[in-house]
Amino acid sequence: MYVVTIAFLLFVLTAEARFGAVRWLEVGQILIQPAELAKIVLILSLANFFANHVRRSLDLRTIIQSGLIVGGLALWIFLQPNLSTTIVLLVIWGAMLWITGIKIRLILIAIGVVLLVILIGAATGFAFLADYQKDRITNFLFPDPDARYGETYNVDQALITIGTGGWFGQGYNQSSQVQLRFLKVRHTDFIFSVLAADFGFVGAALVIVLLIIVIVRCIRISQNAPESFGSLIAYGFGFLIFFQTVVNIGVNINVIPVTGLTLPFVSYGGSSLLSLMLGIGMVESVAMRSPKRTK
């Protein structure tokens, strides 16, 4: 699966660019995004790697070897360019390292390396990022208070859309902000704003609670798994849902820059939904093979 996914990612780089990036394979009328499948494949690959090294202390050598597994997928995704999914893969790696018992000293070294990369990037004007990625960071850090249109338009409209929902919303498909198309990209990146406008604070909170239930369920299955491989799969997938949920909602309420990550199980996108369903299937497979707990 790892090798096939890399082959798909390499093939994607030869595809036609859409919205400034090459992320999709066109199969007839269907668009496939291999980067979504890469998330699940990485969880499987790292779970297998760390399960085989569970008796070895998490030393620098083990960390580097696991980093090569991550880099084999992340490099080709970064070149699309797709920074948000690259960050997701790195976060999954960090979560796997944490749960397998990385030493505090190595965590501090990793934080230092990240800060060094950020400082180097800032000094070079983030030359390794695409223009639209630089604009997203700049507009988030230094927004123009007088700009009513342009780069910050959709984020502003997302906040307005959320505010129009009130406690119970305007009703399904009744939001003026959404139906009159003031809010763009409303079916993917800003779907949470649509939920808040249609169903209000109560409806949006219910969606968050349902996602939390799924995350907690994954963690409990991880704790009850009979072996390390299954435990790491359930933990990794639960953390993937948690991270994407936090980032997507954070984008909608303008506390982090726009990233393009979907809201799990809610945002439009066949590749995203398929990968999430594959992940749920794997977690349920772990649950089926876990011993029944006695009261």
Q: Write down the domain spans for the chain.
A: 1-129, 143-295
Q: What's the pLDDT at 21?
A: 54
Q: Is residue 281 a contact partner of residue 218, using CB atoms and an 8 Å limit?
A: no
> What is the pTM assigned to this prediction?
0.83
* Whole-Å CA distances, 259 to 82, 155, 173, 213, 216: 9, 12, 26, 24, 25
- List Cβ neighbours of 105 (8 Å cut-off, separation of 6 or more): none
Per-10-residue mean pLDDT for the chain, 295 residues long?
90 65 64 86 94 71 87 87 86 88 73 73 65 65 61 79 87 82 78 90 94 95 91 94 93 83 86 90 92 58
Q: What's the pLDDT at 171?
A: 85
Q: How far apart are CA 129 and CA 144, in angstroms?
A: 22
Q: What's the pLDDT at 295?
A: 40
Q: What's the pLDDT at 209?
A: 96
Residues in the chain: 295
Helices 270-288 and 191-224 cross at an angle (nearest 10°) of 20
Phi/psi of residue 26, nearest 5 degrees: -100, 115
Q: What's the pLDDT at 140?
A: 62
7-16, Cβ contacts within 8 angstroms, sequence gap of 24 or more: 8/32, 8/34, 8/37, 9/34, 9/35, 9/38, 9/73, 9/76, 9/77, 10/76, 12/76, 12/80, 13/76, 13/79, 13/80
Q: Is residue 263 a contact partner of residue 192, using CB atoms and an 8 Å limit?
A: yes
- List Cβ neighbours of 260 (8 Å cut-off, separation of 6 or more): 82, 84, 188, 189
Strand pairing report for 25-27 and 30-32: antiparallel
